[in-house]
């Protein structure tokens, strides 16, 4: 950790029921979270209102996705305006499950980011390579291309957190080593320096995601360019998520 306030996001994905979420919220409300960490959770859309009404305001709310433009005749979608209305601060965009299972492409994701920012949401902008891309030596190229798509679309990086999430590490239990993660994080920072500005490079938080848990978080958090985490599976357990939030201290 080295840049800005440590940021930890919990991505609940398509998990939970009213009952299990009520238990998770109560565990989070009872957890001791260090002051100097930004914390957000991303419930499924339909539970955001329940979470917003019951969760401590210490923890911010993120959406897991948002529509690419103004709301209207887009069946099944949720707009950035609606997310703001219901009290969301953030939207996770470009998550690998949306890129690779749903088929969202770089340009579409870039537009979503620009629109979400225009409505006052912060964006957790996800990038990361597939296993075959890593094995073919393309990790940096893939990450740079995904970064460029965000950068071509957004007017400013002020309200963006970058999440580096190697796809082979997501939900697999196979975490990147601290060295593997640091190597990409510093490359991302250098890309920002070269292609955006020194200032953006030195201010933008770059968080790591991919099988982060209570056992591996502190070694990762020690890396100079790892400024937080995006956590999937382990964010469904309140006490473990709190351990990850507190791993930087």
Contact window for ligand PEP (CB under 6 A) among 103-111, 143-151, 194-202, 206-214: 206-214
Q: Which of 95, 97, 185, 240 is catalytic?
A: 95
Candidate segments 78-86, 127-135, 139-147, 207-215, binder of ligand PEP by CB under 6 A = 207-215
Write down the catalytic residue from 60, 97, 133, 165: 165
For the purposes of burial, counting CB atoms within 10 Å of the CB of 196, is it exposed (0-12), middle (13-18) or buried (19 or more)? middle
Q: How far is CA 131 from CA 105, 138, 247, in A?
A: 18, 10, 27
Partners of 93 in beta bridges = 125
With contact defined as beta carbons under 8 Å apart, do 51 and 58 qualify? Answer: no
Under the binding rule (CB under 6 A), the answer on residue 128 touching ligand PEP is no
Sole binder of ligand PEP in the list 94, 228, 232, 238 (CB under 6 A): 232
240 is catalytic: no
Contact status: 11 vs ligand PEP (CB under 6 A): yes
The interface region with ligand PEP, picked from 78-86, 131-139, 177-185, 229-237 by CB under 6 A, is 229-237
Binding mask 45-64 for ligand PEP (x = CB under 6 A): --------------------
String of contacts with ligand PEP for each residue 209-228, x by CB under 6 A? xxxx----------------
Residue 84 dihedral angles phi and psi, to the nearest 5°: -60, -45
> Positive or negative, the Cα torsion across 65, 68, 74, 80?
positive
Would you say 16 or 209 has its CB closer to ligand PEP?
Answer: 209
Tell me the closest approach of the beta carbon of residue 207 to ligand PEP, in angstroms: 10
Where in 141-200 is the site for ligand PEP (CB under 6 A)? 165, 170-171
95 an active-site residue?
yes
- Work out whether 240 is an interface residue with ligand PEP (CB under 6 A): no
Q: Show which residues are catalytic.
A: 95, 165
The residue ranges that bind ligand PEP (CB under 6 A) are 11, 165, 170-171, 209-212, 230-234
């Amino acid at each position: 950790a080295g840049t800005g306030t440590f940021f930890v996001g919990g991505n609940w994905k398509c998990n939970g029921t009213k009952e299990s979420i009520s238990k998770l919220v109560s565990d989070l409300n009872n957890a001791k979270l260090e002051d100097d960490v930004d914390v957000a959770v991303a419930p499924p859309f339909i539970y955001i209102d329940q979470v917003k009404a019951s969760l401590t305001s210490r923890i911010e709310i993120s959406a897991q996705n948002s529509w690419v433009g103004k709301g209207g005749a887009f069946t099944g979608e949720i707009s950035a305006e609606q997310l703001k209305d219901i009290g969301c601060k953030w939207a996770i965009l470009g998550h690998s499950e949306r890129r690779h299972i749903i088929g969202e492409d770089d340009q579409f994701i870039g537009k979503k980011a620009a629109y979400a920012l225009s409505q006052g949401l912060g964006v957790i902008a996800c990038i990361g390579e597939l296993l075959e891309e890593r094995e073919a030596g393309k990790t940096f190229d893939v990450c740079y291309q995904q970064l460029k798509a965000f950068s071509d679309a957004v007017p400013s990086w002020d309200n963006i957190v970058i999440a580096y999430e190697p796809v082979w590490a997501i939900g697999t239990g196979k975490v990147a080593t601290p060295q593997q993660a640091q190597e990409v994080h510093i490359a991302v920072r250098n890309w920002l320096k070269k292609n955006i500005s020194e200032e953006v490079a030195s201010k933008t938080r770059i968080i790591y995601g991919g099988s982060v848990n209570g056992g591996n978080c502190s070694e990762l958090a020690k890396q100079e360019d790892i400024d937080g985490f995006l956590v999937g599976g382990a964010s469904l357990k309140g006490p473990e998520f709190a351990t990850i939030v507190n791993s930087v201290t």
